[in-house]
Amino acid sequence: MKYGITGASGTLGRLTADALLERVPAADVVLVTRDPSKLAAYAERGVEVRAGDFTDAATLDFSGIDRLLLISLDTVGTRVEPQKAAIDAAVAAGVQRIAYTSVTNPSHSNPVFVAPDHRATELHLFNSGAHWTVLRNAIYTEMYTLSAPGVLASGTIVTNAGDGLAVNVSRLDCADVAAAVLAGDDHDDKLYDITGEEALNPDGLAALYTELTGKPVSVQQLDDAAWVAAMSAHMPEAGAQALATLGRAQRLGYQATISTAVRDITGHAPRSLRDVLAPALAG
């Protein structure tokens, strides 16, 4: 049995490769990346590293791979066709099952800016003729480690999420699940919501910041337009418009999905927001 991972030089790709290598021999693993030199350390361990670029289907060699993890590209808005091409190349190469990293609730009504790409890719995968596994990952918990310095400096969470709940998931847990799904035999044609098991609204997040740091943190609620205006002082307006859809989706309940998939598939509980934030804030 051969197991492949695309986008293997990215953060999720490397974490998944590491988790997979704890389950299967290195000789059974194929890592696909645009720049194989970035994965030289894996090649030294006996892993096969192949060059492959989704934007150039002719470079995609999935021959001999039985199960493939297709990690979604980060080029939002232009990634659907390359991802479809990768699925088609995998099917043509005889890949038996393709796992794809999606997002929770990629429905037509979900306003989050990444939903349309994932929805279109999922549909193509469902109709590809191969067995499939869809991993609908919640927003990464590690996102908060990036915003924490600004929150703590200002003492304020500025949000357009209202009282909406957010359920996040650690990237490490996503990698553990992906590796287990690749190596496991009972995941054909399954769709999993990959989430943590706690839901926090902005007030709950502020309370956690205060508890972990001893610094008072409050919440400032803005409507979408005001939030975009405030954030546009720190980033391009187009970026602020895109990020505003995260808060809107949370406000409307699209980020409140809780599942036990991490625990069910890996055998361990998902890492909590506290688990991720505490060491980051302590450092």
Terminal alpha carbon distance of the chain:
42
Around Cβ 244, how many Cβ atoms within 10 Å?
Answer: 23
Coarse DSSP helix, strand, coil percentages of the chain, rounded to the nearest 5 percent: 45, 15, 40
Q: Crossing angle for the helix pair 171-183 and 11-21, nearest 10 degrees?
A: 50
Q: Which residue has the tokens 């190469």?
A: 93
Specify the pLDDT at position 283: 66
Distance separating alpha carbons of residues 266 and 81, to the nearest angstrom: 32
Strand partners, 135: 101, 192
What tens digit of pLDDT does each residue of 149-204 get?
999 999 999 999 999 999 999 999 999 999 999 999 999 999 999 999 999 999 99
User: Are 219 and 207 spatial neighbours (Cβ–Cβ below 8 Å)?
Assistant: no
What tens digit of pLDDT does each residue of 85-97 get?
999 999 999 999 9
Across 2-25, average pLDDT: 99
Specify the pLDDT at position 282: 86
Question: What domains lie within the chain, and their CATH numbers?
Answer: 3-138+171-195+257-270 (3.40.50.720)
What tens digit of pLDDT does each residue of 14-41 get?
999 999 999 999 999 999 999 999 999 9
Distance separating alpha carbons of residues 266 and 22, to the nearest angstrom: 13
Whether the per-residue pLDDT at 261 is higher than 90: the answer is yes
What tens digit of pLDDT does each residue of 215-232 get?
999 999 999 999 999 999
